[in-house]
Amino acid sequence: MNRMAVASLCLIYLLLLAACHVSKSENGKVNLPSQSIAITPPENTPISESPLGGATMTGGAVVNLTEEENGGKVSLIVNDTLQIQLVGNPTTGFTWDVENLDTGHLEQIGTPLFKPDNNLTGASGQFTLTFKALGAGVVVLRLIYHRAFEKNVPPQRIFEITVNIQD
């Protein structure tokens, strides 16, 4: 079974599992399960572990970084996934974006995801940007926290990391 099919089956499984555990409270609001659900991939799916991250079904490790690693270096192997969590608040118009991406070495996966710290309107939280290592080399990944609609205004914050990708 190819990786795309495995990923699709896992997603369908998650959706079905979530649907089975959803209930409504007396006030009509949806209650989601409060505990984590462990998911085991189908047999013969290659999985690798990383001391810095978790397992992945793509054959590469997941490496997680935060603002504490700003200005530092990280080593990856081709097919590893790099996830960077950065504090921000999109309700103020700010977002984290890639300033320059060396697409020969890194590929951005999806768009930045935002998870608020709490349920209050306007709450700040964590942006997560995800990248996949494509080819060997050393690149500088620079992320900027800015308002995309404000042209010719310097970014409010910068996150920069040197990425060393090996075969």
Q: CA-to-CA distance for 45 and 37, rounded, in angstroms?
A: 19
Under 8 Å CB-to-CB from 2, ≥6 apart: which residues? none
Confidence of residue 95 (pLDDT cuts 50, 70, 90): very high
Average pLDDT over residues 15-42: 41
Lowest-confidence pick of 38-47, 60-69, 107-116, 132-141: 38-47
- Chain centroid to CA 103: how far? 17
pLDDT at 17: 40
The model's pLDDT over 2-26, given as tens digits with 9 standing for 90+, comes to 444 444 444 444 444 444 444 444 5
Tell me the C-alpha to C-alpha distance, in Å, between residue 133 and each of 10, 67, 139, 148, 160. 23, 20, 11, 26, 16
- Domains assigned to the chain: 1-45 (no CATH), 47-166 (2.60.40.2020)
| pLDDT computed for residue 147 by the predictor | 97
Say yes or no to pLDDT of 136 above 70.
yes
Query: Rounded to two decimals, what is the model's pTM?
Result: 0.65
pLDDT band with cut points at 50, 70 and 90 for residue 59: low
Q: Residue 67: pLDDT above 70?
A: yes
Task: Name the pairing type of β-strands 81-88 and 62-65.
Answer: parallel
Residue 117 · residue 164 · CB < 8 Å: no
Residue-by-residue DSSP string for 71-140: T-EEEEETT-EEEEEEEE-GGGT-EEEEEE--TTTEEEEEEEEEEESSSSTT--EEEEEEEEE-SSEEEE
